[in-house]
């Protein structure tokens, strides 16, 4: 996990989900609650190495880049696998040709906050189910 720029490791969030058929209500959403715009953050899913960085910059010298100010991960059927996108993109049904399989999206997330000479901000995970 990167350092510098007044950065610090802020939080580990454990989420849980259940593989299901029907609607997958899992929604992991992180946003600032104080000082929005004064800092950025990046999210690592499942570990702290660069291979776990979600939505990285693509740069090998600075994989975190400028970070981001909001993050969200949820079940979404995008019509892959040769089926049309369902009306509710959270719909799932294991073994169906018309929907994605219901997946357990549980994970551990590591949030790295990037500051520019500011005090530690408030940061919270909202809507994690």
pLDDT of residue 38: 75
For 128, half-sphere exposure in the C-beta direction (CA atoms, 13 angstrom radius) is: 15
pLDDT of residue 28: 92
Query: For the chain, what is the total number of helices (H) and then of strands (E)?
Result: 0, 9
pTM comes to 0.72
pLDDT of residue 9: 63
Q: Is the pLDDT of residue 53 over 50?
A: yes
Helix or strand holding residue 44 (H, E): strand 39-45
């Amino acid at each position: 996990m990167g350092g510098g720029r007044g950065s610090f490791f802020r939080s580990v969030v454990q989420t849980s989900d259940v593989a299901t058929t029907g609607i997958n209500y899992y929604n992991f959403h992180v946003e600032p609650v104080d000082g929005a715009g004064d800092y950025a953050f990046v999210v690592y899913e499942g570990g702290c190495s660069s291979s776990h960085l979600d939505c990285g910059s693509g740069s090998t010298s600075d994989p975190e880049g400028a970070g981001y100010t909001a993050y969200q991960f949820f079940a979404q059927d995008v019509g892959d696998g040769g089926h049309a996108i369902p009306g509710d993109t959270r719909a799932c049904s294991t073994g169906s040709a018309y929907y994605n399989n219901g997946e357990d999206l549980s994970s551990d997330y590591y949030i790295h906050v990037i500051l520019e000479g500011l005090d530690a901000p408030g940061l919270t995970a909202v809507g994690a189910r």
